[in-house]
């Protein structure tokens, strides 16, 4: 897996939510990443390995969920995941030391929001 692709855990959750989109590789059932593997030969494919930007656009297009990560003046990262119904309350807002940690948390939260919409 490159830093461009979502980690296996998030990719698998997206598959359960019906994500179908462009991707450069796939994960097998053990979570191993295989780049540029043709679909026709993907019997061992557990789920696709999309990149972060493709999934971010999918959240906007399919679920009207917007993800934003900002850096504050203290070099901490803040996550904003919102739709027209739900916004992260300031009391729940965490600060992250790295962009990568903030991004992971943001996409995890967006998946949770979609799951809650499906159940509701």
Residue 1 lies in a domain: no
| Banded model confidence at residue 24, pLDDT cuts 50, 70, 90 | confident
Tens-place pLDDT, residues 33-90: 888 765 545 566 788 888 899 999 999 999 988 888 888 887 777 777 776 554 555 5
The residue range of the domain holding 106 is 8-119
pLDDT higher than 60, residue 91: no
User: In terms of pLDDT, which residue wins out, 93 or 105?
Assistant: 105
* Measured CA angle at 68 (ends 19, 16), to 5 deg: 20
| Confidence (pTM) | 0.80
Does some domain include residue 30? yes
Number of domains in the chain: 1
Task: Give domain status of residue 2, yes or no.
Answer: no
Structural domain contains residue 108: yes
Alpha carbons 44 and 41: distance in angstroms, whole number: 8
How far is it, in rounded angstroms, from Cα 21 to Cα 53? 11
Q: Is there a domain that residue 84 lies in? A: yes
Q: Which residues of 58-89 are buried (b: 16+ CB within 10 A; e: fewer)?
A: bbeeebebebebeeeeeeebbbebbbeeeebe
pLDDT at residue 114 is higher than 80: yes
């Amino acid at each position: 897996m490159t830093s461009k692709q979502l980690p296996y855990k998030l990719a698998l959750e997206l598959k359960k939510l019906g994500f179908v989109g462009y991707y450069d590789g796939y994960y097998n059932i053990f979570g191993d990443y295989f780049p540029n593997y043709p679909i026709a030969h993907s019997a061992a494919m557990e789920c696709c390995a999309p990149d972060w930007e493709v999934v971010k656009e999918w959240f906007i297009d399919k679920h009207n969920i917007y993800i934003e990560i900002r850096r504050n003046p203290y070099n901490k990262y803040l996550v904003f995941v919102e739709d027209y119904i739900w916004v992260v309350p300031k009391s729940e807002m965490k600060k992250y030391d790295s962009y990568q940690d903030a991004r992971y948390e943001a996409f995890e939260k967006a998946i949770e929001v979609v799951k809650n919409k499906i159940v509701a």
